[in-house]
Every structure is written in structure tokens, then in C-alpha cells.
């Protein structure tokens, strides 16, 4: 019988599951006065230059998306299958449109939250409220998450810098027992079903009814700059992604070494400050 283990990983995630699974991966901007910002915006508008979205504007627009659904009597919770299809379509279209536009805008104010770690990818919290949490994840080249679910939350992600890969998985039946050996009760098997290369401006969505997944920054191609026609900033460390979870995720299941464990997600930084 496995013992309950509670420990803190380097990326701030607390393991509370049946088995111990070793984790191997897993400001520059000075504020400008309001007068200068308004003057710059007016000059840009007069010159016909489109205004670059700001992260604080994105946050307000995302709040508005969720408030509009609640104003129509829609209950937003972790039970995705209970949300009306038309409500989900409105919400999904709104969130994906906003994240895609921000990611493709070349706005760089997300760099305040772009903290990296040499050992594993890290989660940097931008904002959390009752409806959602917005997180900047930073990946050095070669860092990959383990296969995980999303605790019945909606998950949107957009690429802000570098190149990423998402691999989706489905749970699989247990393989034939070796020499009559019994399959452990806590065994869990998964198989890869789909892989997507993602570049700056790309946006995706996943939930537990669709698949499990991993996200990672793979190989030298993740450090290519715009010289080949790609949009977005060069990220020499690897890649940066923007994730929105609705509602905020309290626990996740990790599938690794043919076992499943539960973890409490943590943060490497909050509001751009290391925790």
C-alpha cells in the first residue's frame, strides 16, 4: 500500500498522491506616465498606426467575456459537460480571439512575467480570480511537461515567444501482464494520438473530455528568430506560452511511468515577483 507523500517541487508544485514520482522537468520596462501614454496613443492613431494591445487591457477584456456569460444566467464551473454549447462557443471564440490577437501583436509587456529556471519549466502567475487564472509559462529548450489533465477546467494556451509543441494523449488499456504478473491498482497507461507544432500567435484549447496532453519546447528550432518569416520576439532561452485556466486549477493528475499521481499546481512567481 503506497504511502501519502507531501513535498514541494522546484517549480512550486506540491505532490500529494499515492506514489512519489520524481519531477525532472517540471523588468525591464519602466512605467510611463498616463499623460505620455495618452499622447503616444493619440499620435499613433493620427498616423494610422494600430495600437498594440496591453496585457492589462487583455485582462479586462477576458473578465468581460466571463461576465457576459454570467449575466445571461450561465453557471461557469468545472463541470464542462454541463455548460450550454452556445455559451461555450461564445466563450471559446472570445477567449481564443483575444489571446491570439495579443500573442500576435508583438506587445512585450508580458516580459515582466517571463522568469525561467534551468532545471524545469515554470509557471508565473499574472492574475487569478474566481473565474480564471492567467499564467505565463516559461520553457528553456528541451523542457517538457509530463502528461497531465486539467481537473475539468477549460485550458487555452497561446505562444508568446519561441516555438512549442503540444502532444495529446488518450488513456490506453493495460498491456498484457508479463509472466502472469498482476497489473498494479494504481497503474495508468496513455498513448500519444496527436502532435501540433505551435509558433508565435498560435492559440489552442483543450479539456479533459478531449484529451490529456504535454507541452514542451523542443530542439534548436525553438530558438529561431524572425529571419525565416516567423512573427514575434526572439526568445534565446526557449519558449514562452500564455495559459488561461477556467476555473483556476486546484489539483491535476500526472501520468508518468505507467502510474497516476495528483499534484497541487504552484507558481514560480506572482505579479512578476519570485515567490
Q: Tell me: the pLDDT tens digits for 50-67?
A: 466 799 999 999 999 999
pLDDT computed for residue 259 by the predictor: 94
Please determine, for residue 32, whether its predicted confidence score (pLDDT) is greater than 60.
no
81 in a known ligand binding site: no
pLDDT computed for residue 35 by the predictor: 36
| pLDDT tens digit sequence for 14-29 | 443 333 333 333 333 3
Calpha distance 231→124 (Å, rounded): 23
- Which three cell numbers mark 83? 455548460
pLDDT computed for residue 51 by the predictor: 64
| pLDDT tens digit sequence for 70-113 | 999 887 765 655 788 899 999 999 999 999 999 999 899 999 99
Residue whose grid cell is 499622447: 39
Among the ranges given (77-81, 129-133, 215-219, 232-236), the one the predictor scored with the smallest mean pLDDT: 77-81
Q: Which residues contact 35 (CB under 8 A, 6 or more apart)?
A: none
Please determine, for residue 270, whether its predicted confidence score (pLDDT) is greater than 80.
yes
1 confidence band (pLDDT: 50, 70, 90): very low
- Which three cell numbers mark 102? 495579443
Kindly list the structural domains of the chain, giving each domain's residue range(s) and its CATH number in brackets, ordered by start. 7-26+58-274 (2.60.120.10)
Sign of the CA dihedral with 241 first, then 242, 245, and 246 last: negative
Looking at per-residue pLDDT, the higher value among 42 and 143 belongs to: 143
pLDDT computed for residue 219 by the predictor: 59
Calpha distance 273→125 (Å, rounded): 9
Where is 242: in which H helix or E strand? strand 238-246
Q: Which residues contact 61 (CB under 8 A, 6 or more apart)?
A: 98
179 in a known ligand binding site: no
pLDDT computed for residue 266 by the predictor: 97
pLDDT computed for residue 78 by the predictor: 55
The Cα angle at residue 232 between residues 229 and 237, in degrees rounded to 5: 105
Calpha distance 23→15 (Å, rounded): 10
| pLDDT tens digit sequence for 162-175 | 999 999 999 998 87
Residue whose grid cell is 489539483: 251
Q: Which residues contact 245 (CB under 8 A, 6 or more apart)?
A: 132, 133, 135, 150, 153, 154, 155
Taking a C-beta distance cutoff of 8 angstroms, is the pair 141, 217 a contact? yes
194 in a known ligand binding site: no
Amino acid at each position: 500500500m503506497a504511502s501519502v507523500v507531501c513535498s514541494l517541487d522546484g517549480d512550486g508544485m506540491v505532490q500529494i498522491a499515492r506514489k512519489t514520482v520524481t519531477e525532472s522537468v517540471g523588468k525591464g520596462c519602466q512605467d510611463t506616465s498616463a499623460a505620455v501614454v495618452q499622447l503616444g496613443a493619440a499620435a499613433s492613431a493620427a498616423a494610422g498606426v494600430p495600437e498594440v494591445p496591453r496585457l492589462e487591457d487583455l485582462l479586462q477584456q477576458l473578465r468581460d467575456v466571463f461576465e457576459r456569460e454570467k449575466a445571461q444566467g450561465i453557471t461557469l464551473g468545472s463541470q464542462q459537460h454541463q455548460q450550454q454549447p452556445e455559451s461555450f462557443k461564445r466563450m471559446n471564440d472570445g477567449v481564443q480571439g483575444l489571446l491570439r490577437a495579443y500573442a500576435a501583436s508583438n506587445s512585450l509587456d508580458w516580459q515582466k512575467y517571463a522568469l525561467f529556471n534551468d532545471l524545469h519549466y515554470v509557471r508565473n502567475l499574472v492574475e487569478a480570480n474566481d473565474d480564471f487564472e492567467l499564467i505565463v509559462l516559461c520553457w528553456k529548450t528541451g523542457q517538457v511537461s509530463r502528461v497531465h489533465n486539467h481537473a475539468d477546467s477549460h485550458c487555452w494556451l497561446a505562444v508568446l515567444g519561441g516555438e512549442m509543441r503540444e502532444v495529446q494523449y488518450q488513456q490506453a488499456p493495460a498491456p498484457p501482464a508479463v509472466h502472469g504478473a498482476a497489473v498494479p491498482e494504481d497503474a495508468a497507461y496513455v498513448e500519444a494520438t496527436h502532435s501540433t507544432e505551435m509558433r508565435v500567435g498560435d492559440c489552442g484549447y483543450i479539456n479533459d473530455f478531449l484529451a490529456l496532453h504535454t507541452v514542451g519546447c523542443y530542439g534548436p528550432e525553438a530558438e529561431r528568430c524572425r529571419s525565416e518569416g516567423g512573427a514575434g520576439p526572439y526568445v534565446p532561452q526557449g519558449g514562452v506560452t500564455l495559459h488561461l485556466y477556467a476555473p483556476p486549477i486546484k489539483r491535476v493528475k500526472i501520468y508518468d511511468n505507467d502510474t497516476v499521481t495528483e499534484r497541487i499546481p504552484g507558481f514560480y512567481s506572482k505579479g512578476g515577483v519570485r515567490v
